[in-house]
């Protein structure tokens, strides 16, 4: 087992949180889009504390050493720590919707700690993305997920998959179908090691063929009312989040 301490970046008194690609070194230079955000939007000052994460669960505390235009220099103030794993893992497959609604869904699911989001095209989906549109949209959703993870102080980034036809997920281990007449979350059996995959249909719901394709997969109740697709995705994920637990005890220390 790793000797790294376990704890939450969100539990620190840092004024900002950022992801880095080059590793959590003793000295970091934040430039580009993130440097501009920290220097010009957040207006960080020398001496303030921030946390930096690698996107895979490791994070570290830093102090702002200097701010020069759109470049922020950071100096490490702690050893690296590791964010606890939430179990079971949780993925959400949601039907594509119009406008900026997919961005809203990804933002909220990221804030809830969802591990993976999968846009899907269902029979009643109004939105259809061709290959070019899908590539552009997924790239934008990845940016949205990254920004939401920084805002919520997550050390792991939510993975955004390319869109797939809904029926390709039929038979997926751990599938749970959001359904107005489904069971309460407390009634769901624990999934296997594959975790949960919450499937949320479009407005108008899933067709009989689609429901039959998911066979005996549990149905999760998301309330007695007719919800918009994006609301159902967030409500279902929030319900399943209440069933998740930490994989190990938190370590001692400032971030624990």
| Residues 24 and 91 both lie in one domain | no
Out of 41-55, 97-111, 126-140, 156-170, which region has the weakest mean confidence (pLDDT)?
Answer: 126-140
| Residues 66 and 107 both lie in one domain | no
Rounded-to-integer distance, Cα 150 and Cα 36, Å: 15
Phi-psi region of 139 (alpha: psi -120 to 50; beta: other; left: phi over 0): alpha
Residue 3 is predicted with a pLDDT of 62
Using one digit for the tens of pLDDT, what is the confidence trace for 1-26? 346 799 999 999 999 999 998 899 99
Indicate the residue among 82, 104, 131 that finishes a domain: 82
Asked if residues 65 and 73 have their Cβ atoms less than 8 Å apart, the reply is: yes
Given a cut of 90, is residue 247 above it in pLDDT? no
Indicate the residue among 82, 115, 149 that finishes a domain: 82
| Residues 47 and 62 both lie in one domain | yes
131 against 220, higher pLDDT: 220
Residue 125 is predicted with a pLDDT of 85
Asked if residues 166 and 210 have their Cβ atoms less than 8 Å apart, the reply is: yes
Which CATH number characterizes residue 45's domain?
2.40.240.20
Question: Looking at residues 194-200, what average pLDDT do you find?
Answer: 97
255 part of a folded domain: no
- 158 exposure class (CB count in 10 Å sphere: 0-12, 13-18, 19+): buried
253 part of a folded domain: no
| Residues 52 and 117 both lie in one domain | no
Rounded-to-integer distance, Cα 241 and Cα 198, Å: 11
Residue 90 is predicted with a pLDDT of 98
| Residues 100 and 76 both lie in one domain | no
Model confidence at 47, in pLDDT bands (50, 70, 90)?
very high
CA distances from residue 244 to 121, 123, 239 in whole angstroms, order as listed = 28, 31, 10
What percent of the chain has a predicted confidence (pLDDT) above 70? 95
Using one digit for the tens of pLDDT, what is the confidence trace for 82-138? 999 999 999 999 998 877 789 999 999 999 999 999 999 999 888 777 788 889 999
Residue 203 is predicted with a pLDDT of 85
| Residues 77 and 105 both lie in one domain | no
Which CATH number characterizes residue 237's domain?
3.40.1280.10
List the domain range (segments joined by +) for residue 78. Answer: 5-82
Based on the structure, what is the number of domains in the chain?
A: 2
| Residues 98 and 180 both lie in one domain | yes
| Residues 70 and 166 both lie in one domain | no
| Residues 214 and 107 both lie in one domain | yes
Given a cut of 70, is residue 252 above it in pLDDT? no
Residue 133 is predicted with a pLDDT of 85
Indicate the residue among 47, 82, 117 that finishes a domain: 82
SS3 37: helix
Given a cut of 60, is residue 146 above it in pLDDT? yes
113 part of a folded domain: yes
| Residues 117 and 57 both lie in one domain | no
Question: Looking at residues 217-231, what average pLDDT do you find?
Answer: 92
Given a cut of 60, is residue 37 above it in pLDDT? yes
pTM of the predicted model as reported, rounded to 2 decimal places? 0.91
147 part of a folded domain: yes
Rounded-to-integer distance, Cα 162 and Cα 119, Å: 7
| Residues 78 and 90 both lie in one domain | no
Outline where the chain has alpha helix (H): 32-36, 101-111, 131-151, 208-213, 229-241
Rounded-to-integer distance, Cα 117 and Cα 64, Å: 34
Given a cut of 60, is residue 43 above it in pLDDT? yes
Given a cut of 80, is residue 170 above it in pLDDT? yes
- Token pair 């999968």 is found at 118
| Residues 74 and 146 both lie in one domain | no
Bridge partner list, 71 = 68
């Amino acid at each position: 087992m790793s000797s790294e301490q376990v704890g939450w970046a969100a539990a620190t008194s840092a004024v900002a949180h950022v992801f880095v690609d080059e590793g959590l070194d003793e000295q970091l230079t934040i430039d580009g889009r993130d440097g501009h955000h920290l220097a010009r939007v957040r207006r960080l000052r020398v001496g303030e504390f921030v946390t930096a994460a690698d996107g895979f669960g490791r994070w570290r505390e830093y102090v702002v050493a200097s701010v020069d235009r759109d470049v922020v220099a950071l100096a490490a103030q702690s050893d690296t720590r590791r964010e606890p794993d939430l179990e079971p893992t949780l993925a959400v497959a949601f039907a594509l919707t119009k406008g900026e609604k997919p961005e809203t869904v990804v933002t909220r699911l990221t804030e809830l700690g969802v591990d993976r989001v999968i846009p899907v095209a269902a029979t009643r989906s109004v939105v259809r993305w061709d290959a070019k549109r899908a590539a552009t949209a997924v790239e934008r959703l990845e940016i949205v997920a990254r920004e939401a993870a920084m805002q919520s102080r997550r050390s792991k980034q939510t993975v955004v998959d390319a869109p797939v036809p809904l029926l390709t997920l039929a038979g997926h281990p751990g599938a749970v179908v959001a359904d107005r007449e489904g069971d309460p979350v407390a009634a769901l059996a624990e999934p296997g090691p594959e975790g949960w995959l919450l499937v949320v249909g479009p407005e108008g719901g899933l067709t009989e063929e689609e429901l039959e394709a998911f066979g005996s997969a549990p149905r999760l109740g998301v309330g007695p009312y007719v919800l918009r697709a994006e609301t159902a995705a967030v409500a279902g994920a929030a319900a399943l989040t209440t069933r998740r637990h930490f994989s190990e005890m938190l370590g001692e220390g400032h971030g624990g």
